[in-house]
Amino acid sequence: MTRQSWPVPLALAFASCVLAACTVLSNGSQRKHDVAMVPQTTYLHLLKNTPFFTALTREQLKWVIGHSREWKAMAGTVVGSCATGEPAQDDLWVLLDGGWQIEIGGKPHASKNSDAGKWFSATVAKQPCQLVTTERSFVMKITRHDMDEMLSMGFAFGPHLETGQAYYRSLF
């Protein structure tokens, strides 16, 4: 009986699959610090039902969409971090869907999009921390400049920001 060799394309495909499986198995328990978030399109009909944005008018929602960036992040993705001694990134992150946790001193504090911790800015941190997704999530980044502009135009974020500030004061 003669040994037959696999056609080259099939052999390469098999080797690629084995390599990918080994990579997944070996990295499965590691935090995805280097995983890039994937940009997403923000849809008005979904945004209007997200707790942070439910009090906004249709025109305000359109303004938010034009002045923010939505991202999809898989579980374990580090969305943001805050380190003592470094200038804090003052952009605001809003959890649209999924879940995340702020990790302070190795202790996780989880939130969903209807909880007080549904937004985060490193400026609230008083010690090193990380903001990490706990499941596939959709997050929105709003620059401090754009958030300040929205607030000056009367966007109804006050109750959400105040509840979040109180929550972060209790953590830090």
60-74 tens-digit pLDDT: 999 999 999 999 999
Q: How far apart are CA 153 and CA 87, in angstroms?
A: 28
C-alpha distances out from residue 58 to 9, 66, 81, Å: 53, 12, 32
The per-residue pLDDT for 83 is 79
The order of strands in the sheet holding 38-40 is 38-40, 69-73, 137-142, 92-97, 119-120
Q: How confident is the model at residue 82 (pLDDT cuts 50, 70, 90)?
A: confident
Model confidence at 88, pLDDT cuts 50, 70, 90, reads low
pLDDT higher than threshold 50 for residue 162: yes
Q: What are the residue ranges spanned by the domains of the chain? A: 31-171
Q: How far apart are CA 132 and CA 33, in angstroms?
A: 9
Element (H, E) at 57: none
Interatomic CA distance for residues 152 and 129, integer angstroms: 29
Choice among 3-7, 31-35, 136-140 with the minimum mean pLDDT: 3-7
Of 3-7, 42-46, 85-89, 144-148, where does mean pLDDT reach its minimum?
A: 3-7
Does the pLDDT at position 34 exceed 80?
no
User: According to the model, what pLDDT value does residue 33 have?
Assistant: 47
CATH of domain 31-171: 2.60.120.10
Name the strand (E) or helix (H) holding 152.
Answer: helix 144-152
